[in-house]
Amino acid sequence: MAAPATPADRGWFVTIEGPDGGGKTTQAERLRAHLVASGRRVHLTREPGGTWLGERLREVLLARTASAAGAPTDPLTDAFLFNAARRQLVGEVIRPALEAGTTVVCARFADSTLAYQGYGAGVALERLRALAGIATDGLRPDLTILLDLPVEAGLERKAPGDVTRFEAEFDLEFHRRVRDGFLAIAREEPGRFVVVDAALPVDEVAGVIAAAVDGRIAGGGDQSDVPGGAATAAG
Closest to ligand TYD by CB, 66 or 226: 66
C-alpha to C-alpha distances, 141 to 59, 114, 125, 163, 188, nearest whole angstrom: 25, 14, 18, 27, 14
Q: Give the SS3 label for residue 196.
A: strand
| Residue ranges binding ligand TYD (CB under 6 A) | 20, 24-25, 46-48, 62, 82, 108, 112-113, 116-117, 164, 166-167
- Least separation in angstroms between CB 66 and ligand TYD: 13
CB nearer to ligand TYD: pick between 24 and 216: 24
Contact residues for 161 (Cβ-Cβ < 8 A; gap 6+): none
Shortest Å distance, C-beta 81 to ligand TYD: 9
| Nearer to ligand TYD among residue 200 and residue 226 (C-beta) | 200
What is the closest distance, in whole angstroms, from the C-beta atom of residue 155 to ligand TYD in the complex?
9
Half-sphere exposure of 52 (CA within 13 A, CB side): 0
- Sorted by sequence, the CB contacts under 8 Å of residue 132 that are 6+ apart come out as 83, 86, 110, 113, 114
Cα–Cα distance for residue pair 48/83, rounded to 1 Å: 9
Taking CB atoms, the residue at the shortest distance from ligand TYD is: 116
Using the minimum distance from each CB to ligand TYD, give the nearer residue, 111 or 142: 111
Q: Nearest approach, Cβ of 208 to ligand TYD (angstroms)?
A: 18
Cα(29)–Cα(199) distance, integer angstroms = 18
